[in-house]
Amino acid sequence: MKVFTVIGARPQFIKAAVVSRAIRETRGDMEEVVVHTGQHYDANMSDVFFDELEIPPPAHNLGIGGGTHGQNTGRMLEKLEELMLIEQPDWVLVYGDTDSTLAGALAASKLHIPVAHVEAGLRSFNRRMPEEINRILADHVSAKLFAPTDLAFDNLRNEGIPREKIEMVGDVMCDAAVFYKRRARKPIWFDNLGLKVNDFVLCTVHRAENTDDPIRMRGIFEGLRKSEAQVVLPLHPRTRGKLKQIGLMLPSNVQAVDPVGYLEMIWLEANCRIVATDSGGVQKEAYFNQKCCVTLREETEWVELVQAGLNEVVGADSEKIAAALRCPREFASRSQFYGDGKAGEKIVSSFFNAEVGAEAVAGGSVQD
C-alpha cells in the first residue's frame, strides 16, 4: 500500500511526524511518499522541523509559497496532480486546514484517489477564515475522516457525512505532546532576555484575519502593552512583514525572537506563565503543557477548552487582552479531551483495515 502525504506548514509537520512514525513501526508493506508543498518556505519554519521531529525527508518539495491563497492553491493543485499521476498512490493523506490541505484533497478527488483527512470535523463557523473553507471542503471530498474529538465527530454527522466514513481516533497533537515532551529544549537565547521561568507571556500571531487587518494588529499589540507583562514573541515571517508594512513598532515589553523549532516551543509553553495566540495548534499545546490560554480571535475550534475555563477568547480587544494577561486563571483540569495518545497507531491501523475490507469484497465478487 502506498500513502501519498501532503504537508506544507508547521502544524502539519508535527502531526505528520506522529503518523509517519507509526507507519515506520508497522509491518513493512506500507510505503509513504511525503510531499512538502513549500507553503512554509522559511528554513526556520520548515527545515528545522524535519530535523528535530525525525520526519523522513520529503520525496518531493514543490517550493510553492509566498503568494495569495488562490495563487498558492492553484499552483499546488497543478504540481500535486502531476506527482499523483506518477506515484499512483492508494491513498492521499492530508492534515488540518491549510492551502496545502485543500490542494491535496482536491487534486486526489479529481483523480478518484481516496482522501484521508486527519483532524477532520473542526469548525469555527466563521467562513471568512480561509482555514474554515479549506477544512470543510477537504472533509466533504474525503473517504476517511479522522475526528480528534466528540464535537468534531458531531459536526461531521450534522453536515450529513455518513457514519461509516468517520473514525474517532483522538488528536495526533496529543501523541506528539506525549512523545516529544521529554525532548523539549531551552532556547539558547532565553537567559539573555532577562526572563524568569513561569513569569512571562508566550505570544504568537500569524493568522491572516489578524495580520491582514491593521486595526486588529494595533489592538493586539496595544493589549500586550497595557498588560505590562514581559512578552516573548516568536515572530512569524508574515507578521514581521505586516508590522513593517503598517509601521507598527513593538511595545517595549514585547521581545521578538526568530521563529523557534517545535522542541523549543514546547519548552517555552511549559515554562511560561500563560499563552496568548491566534494559532489553533498552540491553544492545544498550552493545554498539554498545563497552561491557560488567551485566544486572539473571535472564536475557536477548541470549544471544550473554553467550556473548561482553560481558554479565554478575547479577539483583538486591547482591554480584554490586557485584563486576561494581568490576571491569568489557574490551570485546573484533569480531563482528557483529546484521546489517549495513540491516534497515530489508530490511523495506520485504519488503512490496513480498509485494505483487508477491500480484498474481502473483491474476493467475494470473483467467487460470485
140/41 same-domain check: yes
Q: Looking at the structure, do residues 270 and 167 belong to the same domain, yes or no?
A: no
How far lies 257's CA from each of 164, 201, 250, 320, in Å? 46, 13, 12, 25
Q: Is 60 annotated as catalytic?
A: no
Residue 181 lies in a domain: no
Q: Are residues 123 and 220 in the same domain?
A: no
H-helix or E-strand spanning residue 155:
helix 150-158
User: Can you point out the beta strands (E) in 298-351?
Assistant: 311-313
Sign of the torsion formed by the C-alpha atoms of 45, 179, 185 and 239: positive
Note whether residue 334 is domain-resident: no
pLDDT single digits (tens) 297-351:
999 999 999 999 999 999 999 999 999 999 877 888 777 899 999 999 999 999 9
pLDDT tens sequence across 285-308: 999 999 999 999 999 999 999 999
Tell me: do 30 and 152 sit in the same domain.
yes
Supply the range of the domain harboring residue 22. Answer: 2-171+339-367
pLDDT band at 282 (very low <50, low <70, confident <90, very high): very high
Which pLDDT does position 330 carry in this prediction? 84
27 and 57, same domain (yes or no): yes
- Do 96 and 202 fall within a single domain? no
Interval 135-193: pLDDT, tens? 999 999 999 999 999 999 999 999 999 999 999 999 999 999 989 998 999 999 999 99
Neighbours of 363 (CB within 10 A): 10
Catalytic position from the list 36, 40, 60, 206 = 206
Residue at 297 is within a domain: yes
d(CA 117, CA 127): 19
Q: Both 126 and 206 in a single domain?
A: no
Tell me the CATH number at 231: 3.40.50.2000
* 29 occurs within a structural domain: yes
CA separation (Å) from 135 to 29, 55, 75, 101, 300? Answer: 30, 24, 19, 8, 14
Would residue 179 count as lying in a domain?
A: no
How does pLDDT run across 240-249, given as a tens digit for each residue? 999 999 999 9
3-state DSSP helix/strand/coil percent for the chain, to nearest 5? 50, 15, 35
Residues 193/232, Cβ–Cβ less than 8 Å: yes
192 plus 267 within the same structural domain: yes
Q: What's the chain's average pLDDT? A: 90
Q: Give the residue ranges of DSSP H helices in 228-328.
A: 237-246, 262-271, 280-288, 303-307, 318-326
Domain shared by 256 and 136, yes or no: no
Q: 284 falls in which pLDDT band (50, 70, 90)?
A: very high
Which has the minimum average pLDDT: 37-51, 52-66, 181-195?
Answer: 37-51
pLDDT of residue 41: 57
Asked, for residue 138, whether it belongs to a domain, the answer is yes
Residue 136 within any structural domain of the chain: yes
Q: How many domains does the chain have?
A: 2
Whether the predicted pLDDT of 361 surpasses 60: no
Q: Does one domain contain both 213 and 300?
A: yes
Is 234 within the bounds of a domain? yes
Q: Does 37 lie in the same domain as 117?
A: yes
pTM surpassing 0.95? no
Q: Are 229 and 201 a contacting pair, CB within 8 Å?
A: yes
Q: Which residues does 76 contact at the CB level (< 8 Å), separation at least 6?
A: 8, 37, 39, 62, 64, 99, 100, 103, 104, 107
Residues 166 and 212 in one domain: no
pLDDT tens digits for 92-147? Answer: 999 999 999 999 999 999 999 999 999 999 999 999 889 999 999 999 999 999 99
